[in-house]
Amino acid sequence: MNNVKELVAQVKDAFSKPDIVRLKKLGNHILNLAGFDNNKLLAKISLIAYCLHKLLTKEHIVTNKNWNSVRNSILRNLEKGMKEAEEKDFKRLEKQLEAVIKDVQGIDSDLGYFLTGLFDKAKIKLASRAYVLGLSMGQAAELTGADKKQLQSYIANTVIHEEKLPQIGIAKRLEKFKKIMK
């Protein structure tokens, strides 16, 4: 957990600039770390980085009259989070992260266009990334808190399963099954 403060600091810095590309890269990088360690706290930070990157790409959100107060609230909570991380008080850090998530969900709920909220979409998106990295679908869903059915539906529309891996085809599997049926 040594790097947690640094990671939160990087997310805050990228968000304040704002550096959208760096936020997205941070989301992916922190998820990789989370996957290696089965670390849900890091997974939450990666979700936040991803959500902040998405918020910044939405013109109707960043030009809204409430955006500045939401932005400042997020920055304040990230700053507090950094302090908690420095004190290694990860429970309080988690509270600050939840406060950031609440800010994100609040503005998304007020101004978003979709039934599935930004934070839930982030969970699915990052869980699919964890699946690509080699975790099982269940483990990937559990890491980010994504719904397994939604994750499976999402993955079905990607090219993840087109990857050429050593594989037993449909006919061969059926053949093996029929042999034991006899």
Partner 1 sequence: MNIVFDASSLISISQTCLIKCLADLRKKLGLDFFVSPTVFREVVSKPIKIKRFALNAVRVNELVEQQEIVVEALNPESEDLRHELDKICNNMFFAKNKPIRIMQTGELEALALLRQLNSKVLVVDERTARMLIENPFSIRSLMERRHHKKIREDTQKLKEAREMFSETIVLRSVELIALAFETNALAGQIENTRDALEAALYAAKFSGCSVSFEEIQEFVGKK
Residues that bind partner 1 (CB under 8 A): 32, 35-38, 131-139, 141-142, 147-150, 152-153, 155-157, 160-171, 173-174, 176-177, 180-181
Question: Sign (positive/negative) of CA torsion 66, 56, 106, 26?
Answer: negative
How far apart are CB 31 and partner 1 at their closest, in Å? Answer: 11
Asked whether 151 and 124 are in contact (CB, 8 A), the reply is yes
How far apart are CB 35 and partner 1 at their closest, in Å? Answer: 7
How far apart are CB 107 and partner 1 at their closest, in Å? Answer: 23
How far apart are CB 47 and partner 1 at their closest, in Å? Answer: 18
Asked whether 104 and 118 are in contact (CB, 8 A), the reply is yes
For helices 137-144 and 40-56, angle between their N-to-C axes, nearest 10 degrees: 70
Q: Which residues have CB under 8 Å from 116's CB, separation 6+?
A: 150
Pick 39 or 73: Cβ nearer partner 1: 39
- List the Cα angle 177/179/182 in 5-degree steps: 110
Pick 55 or 140: Cβ nearer partner 1: 140
Pick 35 or 81: Cβ nearer partner 1: 35
Pick 65 or 161: Cβ nearer partner 1: 161
